[in-house]
Amino acid sequence: MTQYIVRRLLLMPLTLIGVTLLIFGMLSFLSPAERVSLYVRDIPKNDIVMNSLIERYGLNDPFLVQYYHWLVGQKDASTGEWAGGILRGNFGYSRSANQNIVDLIKRRFPATVELALYSIVPLIGVGTWLGIVAAKNHNNIIDQIARIFGILGYSFPSFVFGLLMLMFFYAKYQIFPPDRLSNWANLVVTGEGFTSYTSLVTIDALLNGRFDIFLDALRHLVLPILTLSYINWALYLRIMRSSMLESMNQDYVVTARAKGVKEKDVVNKHARPNAMIPIVTMSGMTIAGLLSGVTITETIFIYPGIGSAAAAASTQLDVVTILSLVLLTGFILLVANLIVDITYAFLDPRVRLS
């Protein structure tokens, strides 16, 4: 197992190089002039300015050279100093966010992490629980209601559901506002006397003894969490329901009953642990997805995470930012995958011991 984990860890950089190469490859479909014209606001575009920019950023260089410059940086022939290179921590400047990409990620990623953390239980936990309830009530009215409820959520596009939520809970009743914090709370958080220990507002608020800010942050989280959960419940419900029904039909369940195990324990101790195995695989991917920024949900609720940053960068063809974000989300995905595999092995001795 350790050997397997080490091998996976070693493969990780290679995968990331592959993904970024792919994006770089796609970029080469744009001509240097097309790429640089985004940076020149004047119309008509001035050829001299354009060409000097192309020259300066080396956009005429061969594709692999450009990739090398992005990855490792570029040495200035006269001063001998290196410029750029993400391996040196130079991610570049985000045009769409008007700040350094490192700063952008530092500010936005914690917000996304916070949303993801609070979404796990309602999304995965409740979805799975619904699946268990449906399976236990196989084919009766509760099962039907649970399934219709799930499918309804699944068929809602998240922006439609999100907007409905906003209309009702914000426009009409003003209980759950969009954004991450109210203005007053934001002033406190960014002001003197408030220490940011974790960059997760809810936790920092508690650590600073500001329960009011904690509540304010939670209020802002409710709608995105609800939206993310509802549109995903059907998936968990369906997988858990069928996985549970399948487990309940296995021979070992009959064995358990034949041993005199209580029906409650037949379900809880024998069927459910087996039925949970596919859920683990799926939740790893869901959590990775949440951590990579939920673009649409963050955008609707004006939630300042990396999802909405990625949306802004994409609409403005801000390639540098997109590349960095892809690198980040790719990394998260790979780590999540690894964790899923380890958990999987932990749950299933057949995997662990082979």
Partner 1 sequence: MAELYSVKDLETQFHTREGTVHAVNGVSFSLQEGETLGIVGESGCGKSVSMLSTLRLIPQPPGEIVSGEAIFQGRDLLKLSAEELRHVRGGQIGFVFQDPMTSFNPVQTIGKQLMEPLEIHLGMNKKQAWDRAIEMLRMVRIPNPEDRLKDYPHQFSGGMRQRAMIAMALACSPQVLIADEPTTSLDVTIQAQIMDLVTSLRKELGMAIIWITHDLGVVAGLAERVIVMYAGYIVEEARVKDLYAKPEHPYTLGLLRSLPRLDMDEKKRLASIEGVPPVLFKKPKFCPFASRCPYRIEKCLEENPSLMLVGENHKAACWVDTYTGKER
Interaction site with partner 1 (CB under 8 A): 249-252, 254-263, 269-270, 273-274, 277, 347-350, 353
Q: Which is nearer to partner 1, 170 or 344 (CB)?
A: 344
Closest approach of partner 1 to the CB of residue 265, in Å: 9
Q: Which is nearer to partner 1, 200 or 282 (CB)?
A: 282
Q: Which is nearer to partner 1, 79 or 139 (CB)?
A: 139
Q: Which is nearer to partner 1, 227 or 243 (CB)?
A: 243
Closest approach of partner 1 to the CB of residue 138, in Å: 10
Q: Which is nearer to partner 1, 163 or 351 (CB)?
A: 351
Q: Which is nearer to partner 1, 318 or 341 (CB)?
A: 341
Closest approach of partner 1 to the CB of residue 267, in Å: 13
Q: Residue 13, preceding bond cis, omega within 30 degrees? A: no
Closest approach of partner 1 to the CB of residue 121, in Å: 23
Q: Which is nearer to partner 1, 42 or 263 (CB)?
A: 263
Rounded Cα distance, 173 and 170, in Å: 6
Buried b (16+ CB within 10 A) or exposed e, 322-340: bbbbbbbbbbbbbbbbbeb
Closest approach of partner 1 to the CB of residue 342, in Å: 16
Closest approach of partner 1 to the CB of residue 136, in Å: 14
Closest approach of partner 1 to the CB of residue 236, in Å: 20
